[in-house]
Amino acid sequence: MSTKRSPKLNLVVAVCNNGGIGKDGQLPWRLKKDMEFFKKITTQTKDNGKQNAVVMGRKTWLSIPEKFRPLANRINIILSTTIDPFDGVYVAKSLDEAITMVTGNGVLADKVEGVHIIGGSSVYKAALESDFACRIYLTRVLAEFDCDTFLPEFNQNVFKKIDNCEDVPKGKMNDKNIDFVFEVYDKMFL
């Protein structure tokens, strides 16, 4: 692995001790501080004239309560082979097609600053296995939950943990007696 492609993909995911990320189409937990972090990291831009793209699978889109979707102040792109674009929401048939929309001569290229991959399982997998530069903002939920959807394993020799990343709050957090920590991993290239 000696080349990397732009843009850098930012995966944003919360995962519990048994690798789970979802249950029955929902998050297995409700962590207010993590939701606030998710909102901040996916929304903030350096250029006020641009927004970040949030790229998600169709089921993750459906998991967002109707009143909160599309996710505000972000360009929402759903990956799906079965639905058409609607109400200002973009649809791409693959991760590559979504990236084409936001780069080069793509329809969204002038509008998008960062690209955030927000799940679910197969969308994370496509991003992790791609040759795009990649950062993972990982909320490690320090408990076990009954889950039916899991984060694909990522190679710890390729993704290195970044300590003292200024983007994330430090130390153990707690919400409703659930401990969690924010971690950041960057994909290393030779």
Ligand X SMILES: NC(=O)c1ccc[n+]([C@@H]2O[C@H](COP(=O)([O-])OP(=O)(O)OC[C@H]3O[C@@H](n4cnc5c(N)ncnc54)[C@H](OP(=O)(O)O)[C@@H]3O)[C@@H](O)[C@H]2O)c1
User: Applying CB under 6 A, which residues contact ligand X?
Assistant: 13-14, 21-22, 25-27, 56-60, 63, 79-83, 93-95, 118-123, 126, 149
Tell me the sheet residues that pair with 20: 150
Interhelix angle 95-102/121-129, rounded to 10 degrees, is 70
To the nearest whole angstrom, how small is the minimum distance from the Cβ of residue 154 to ligand X?
14
To the nearest whole angstrom, how small is the minimum distance from the Cβ of residue 159 to ligand X?
16
Give exposure, 22-56, as e/b (b: 16+ Cβ within 10 Å).
beeeebbbebeebeebbeebbbeeeeeeebbbbbb
- CA distances (Å), 12 to each of 9, 37, 88, 141, 185, in order? 10, 10, 23, 13, 11
Asked if 128 contacts 157 with a C-beta cutoff of 8 angstroms, the reply is: no
Which is closer to ligand X, CB of 50 or CB of 64?
64
Which is closer to ligand X, CB of 50 or CB of 183?
183
Which is closer to ligand X, CB of 75 or CB of 117?
117
CB-based closest residue to ligand X? 120
Task: State both tokens at 48.
Answer: 């006020």
Which is closer to ligand X, CB of 32 or CB of 46?
32
Asked if 92 contacts 113 with a C-beta cutoff of 8 angstroms, the reply is: no
To the nearest whole angstrom, how small is the minimum distance from the Cβ of residue 49 to ligand X?
28
To the nearest whole angstrom, how small is the minimum distance from the Cβ of residue 123 to ligand X?
5
Which is closer to ligand X, CB of 114 or CB of 119?
119
To the nearest whole angstrom, how small is the minimum distance from the Cβ of residue 59 to ligand X?
3
